[in-house]
C-alpha cells in the first residue's frame, strides 16, 4: 500500500534527522553495492558546510554535474527502489545541493550482520547501541575528527552530543565516530532545539472552524470539540476521535505525547530518562512520582478530559504503533498526521493532512542535546565515497535540513504573500 510505503520513508527521514516519528520495522533487503540508502528550524543563518571537499578515495573524479552515488542503510528504512515517488522535491533539492545520487537500503539484523562480515556496507549506516562494539572493532566506522574544521562544521557545532559520543561510543579512543539524529542546535538563548508541537490538528477541519488560537490544553480541547461537530465519522463509516495513543512503549507514550509539553519539560535523550525543566534548566528526577504537577499527572488530566468528551480512542490502552498508524491512514483522528517534506508525507494527497500549531512552551522531546542516542550513524571507513559521505552526514545536522524537512521548499511548498508572510501553497504542512 502506497501510504504504508510513505510511512516507512517518513520513519527513515525522521531517524535521519528531520522530524519526530515512532519505531517500527521495514522490509529487509540485501545491501547491494549499487543500491543505496534536527536541528533548529529557526537557525537559517548557521554556517553552511564546506562542499568543496575532495571525492572519496576509490571513487575517482566525477565530471562536473555528474552525481556521486551515496547509499544510506539502516534499520526501519524503506528501500528507495520500492518507492514510486522517490525522489520527492526535497530529496531532489538535497541531491542537487550535494551533487549526489541518494539511495536508501533497508537492513534487518541478518542482512546488517552479513554486510558487516563481508565489508559490503552502505556508505552511511545507522545502527543501534548493541552493534557499536562490532562496528568499532571491525574498523568500519570512520573517525570524523579530521573533517570537523572543513566539511563537518555542522557536526562539530553539536558539542554536547559529540562529547557524549566520544566518551561512551568510541571504544576508549576518544574519537568521534557517530552522529545521532534529532540533535538540536546549541543556542545559548533557546537551548538545543529539535522541536515538535503537540497541538496538532487536521488542517482542513481547523480552517473550517475559523482557525481559533490554541495555547494550552483547554483551548486545544475546545478546538477539537468544534472539529468533531463537523467531522465525527469517516466517509467509510468509521468512528472519529480527537486523538489516539499507542501503548507499545508503555506509559512513556502517554507522558511524552502531552504532559511534558504542557508544563514545559523536555527530554534530552531518546529514551526519556533525562528530563529538563525548560523554564529553569533544572534536571527533573522523576516525572511520575514528584507530586500532582508532574508531566505524568498533567497527561492523565488531559486524556481524562478527552475521555469524558468521548474524544479519546478507547483502543489507546491496547493499541500498537502499527494500529495507530492504520487508523490515522483511515482518517479517524482529528489531529491528523504530521508532515515531513523530506520523507514525502506532505507531498501526497491526504484527507487527514495535519499541521502543528506553534506556541510558546508547547514543545515536547525538544532539548535533545544528545539526540536520539539509540540511533547511531557512521560513515563507512571502507566505502568508496568517504568524504562525500561525511558531507551528507554533516548536512543532516544542518539547520537547513531541519527547516526544509519540516516546512518544505520555498516556491514548492510555501511562498511569501504580498505582506511578506510565509504562506503554504497547499493546505497542509507545518505552521
CATH number at residue 273: 3.40.190
How far is the C-alpha of 242 from the C-alpha of 246, rounded, in Å? 14
Residue 428 in domain: no
Same domain, 181 and 237: no
| Separation CA 167–CA 312 (nearest Å) | 43
Q: Name 407's bridge partners.
A: none
CA of 252: how far to CAs of 69, 115, 132, 258, in Å? Answer: 40, 34, 26, 10
Grid cell locating 160: 554536547
Q: Are residues 10 and 157 in the same domain?
A: yes
pLDDT grade for 356, boundaries at 50, 70 and 90: low
**Closest residue by Cα to residue 144 from 393, 399, 401:** 393
Q: How much is the pLDDT for 297?
A: 84
The Cα–Cα gap between 5 and 78 comes to: 7
pLDDT score at 20 = 29
238 and 327 together in one domain: yes
Domain boundary, last residue among 331, 356, 381: 356
pLDDT at position 294: 76
User: Within this chain, do residues 211 and 184 fall inside the same structural domain, yes or no?
Assistant: no
360-364, 403-407, 417-421: range with lowest mean pLDDT? 360-364
Return the pLDDT at 357.
58
Same domain, 136 and 15: yes
Residue ranges making up the domain that contains 77: 2-191+372-423
> 42 with 113, same domain?
yes
For the chain, the distance separating the N- and C-terminal CA atoms, rounded to the nearest angstrom, is 29
Q: Distance between CA 82 and CA 69 in Å, rounded?
A: 18
pLDDT of residue 226: 96
Q: Which of 236-250, 251-265, 337-351, 402-416 has the lowest mean pLDDT?
A: 337-351
3-state SS assignment for residue 275: strand
**CATH number of the domain that residue 28 is part of:** 3.40.190.10
Q: Verify that 46 and 9 share a domain, yes or no.
A: yes
**How do the residues of the chain divide into helix, strand and coil, expressed in percent and rounded to 5?**
35, 15, 55
Query: What's the pLDDT tens digit per position in 111-148?
Result: 999 999 999 999 999 998 889 999 999 999 999 999 99
Domain match, 169 and 132 both: yes
pLDDT digits (tens, 9 = 90+) for 57-81: 333 334 456 899 999 999 878 888 8
Question: Which of 290, 287, 309 has its CA nearest to residue 299?
Answer: 287
C-alpha cell at 303: 486524556
| 122/109 Cα distance (integer angstroms) | 15
> Are residue 83 and residue 150 in the same domain, yes or no?
yes
Alpha-carbon gap, residue 402 to 342, rounded angstroms: 9
Q: Are residues 208 and 185 in the same domain?
A: no
Does this model's pTM top 0.85? no
**Predicted pLDDT at 217:** 84
φ, ψ of residue 425 in degrees (nearest 5): -85, -25
**pLDDT above 90 for 239:** yes
Nearest to 393 by CA among 410, 381, 406, 411: 381
Q: Are residues 267 and 205 in the same domain?
A: yes
Note the pLDDT tens digit of each residue in 138-187. 999 999 999 999 999 999 988 888 988 999 999 999 999 999 887 755 44
Q: In the predicted model, is pLDDT for residue 343 greater than 70? A: no
Q: Please determine, for residue 9, whether its predicted confidence score (pLDDT) is greater than 90.
A: no
Same domain, 183 and 299: no
CB 418, CB 179: distance < 8 Å: no
For residue 186, the model assigns a pLDDT of 45
Number of structural domains the chain divides into: 2
Q: What's the confidence (pLDDT) of residue 46?
A: 33
Amino acid at each position: 500500500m502506497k501510504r504504508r510505503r510513505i510511512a516507512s520513508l517518513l520513519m527513515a527521514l525522521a531517524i535521519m534527522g528531520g522530524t519526530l516519528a515512532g519505531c517500527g520495522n521495514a522490509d529487509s533487503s540485501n545491501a547491494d553495492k549499487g543500491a543505496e540508502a534536527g536541528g533548529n528550524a529557526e537557525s537559517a543563518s548557521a554556517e553552511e558546510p564546506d562542499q568543496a571537499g575532495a571525492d572519496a578515495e576509490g571513487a575517482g573524479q566525477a565530471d562536473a554535474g555528474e552525481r556521486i552515488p551515496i547509499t544510506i542503510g539502516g534499520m526501519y528504512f524503506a528501500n528507495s527502489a520500492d518507492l514510486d515517488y522517490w525522489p520527492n522535491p526535497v530529496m531532489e533539492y538535497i541531491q542537487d545541493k550535494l551533487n549526489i545520487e541518494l539511495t536508501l537500503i533497508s537492513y534487518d539484523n541478518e542482512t546488517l550482520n552479513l554486510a558487516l562480515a563481508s565489508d559490503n556496507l552502505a556508505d552511511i549506516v545507522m545502527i543501534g547501541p548493541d552493534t557499536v562494539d562490532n562496528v568499532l572493532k571491525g574498523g568500519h566506522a570512520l573517525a570524523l575528527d579530521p573533517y570537523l574544521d572543513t566539511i563537518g562544521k555542522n557536526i562539530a557545532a553539536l558539542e554536547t552530543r559529540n562529547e557524549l559520543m566520544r566518551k561512551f561510543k568510541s571504544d576508549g579512543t576518544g574519537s568521534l565516530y557517530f552522529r545521532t539524529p534529532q540533535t538540536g542546535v546549541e543556542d545559548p538563548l533557546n537551548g538545543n532545539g529539535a522541536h515538535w508541537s503537540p497541538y496538532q490538528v487536521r488542517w482542513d477541519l481547523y480552517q473550517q472552524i475559523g482557525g481559533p488560537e490554541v495555547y494550552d490544553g483547554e483551548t486545544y480541547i475546545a478546538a477539537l470539540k468544534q472539529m468533531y461537530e463537523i467531522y465525527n465519522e469517516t466517509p467509510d463509516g468509521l468512528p472519529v476521535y480527537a486523538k489516539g495513543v499507542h501503548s507499545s512503549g508503555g506509559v512513556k507514550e502517554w507522558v511524552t505525547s502531552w504532559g511534558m509539553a504542557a508544563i514545559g519539560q523536555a527530554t534530552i535523550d531518546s529514551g526519556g530518562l533525562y528530563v529538563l525543566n525548560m523554564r529553569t534548566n533544572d534536571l527533573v528526577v522523576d516525572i511520575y512520582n514528584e507530586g500532582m504537577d508532574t508531566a505524568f499527572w498533567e497527561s492523565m488530566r488531559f486524556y481524562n478530559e478527552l475521555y469524558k468528551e468521548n474524544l479519546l480512542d478507547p483502543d489507546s490502552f491496547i493499541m500498537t504503533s502499527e494500529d495507530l498508524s492504520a487508523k490515522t491512514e483511515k482518517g479517524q483522528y482529528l489531529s491528523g498526521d504530521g508532515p515531513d517534506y523530506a520523507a514525502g508525507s506532505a507531498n501526497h494527497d491526504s484527507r487527514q493532512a495535519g499541521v502543528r500549531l506553534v506556541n510558546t512552551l508547547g514543545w515536547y522531546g525538544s532539548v535533545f542535546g544528545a539526540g536520539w542516542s539509540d540511533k547511531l550513524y557512521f560513515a563507512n571507513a571502507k566505502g568508496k565515497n568517504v568524504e562525500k559521505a561525511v558531507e551528507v552526514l554533516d548536512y543532516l545536522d544542518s539547520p537547513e535540513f531541519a527547516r526544509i524537512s519540516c516546512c518544505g521548499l520555498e516556491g514548492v511548498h510555501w511562498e511569501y504573500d504580498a505582506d511578506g508572510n510565509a504562506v503554504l501553497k497547499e493546505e497542509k504542512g507545518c505552521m
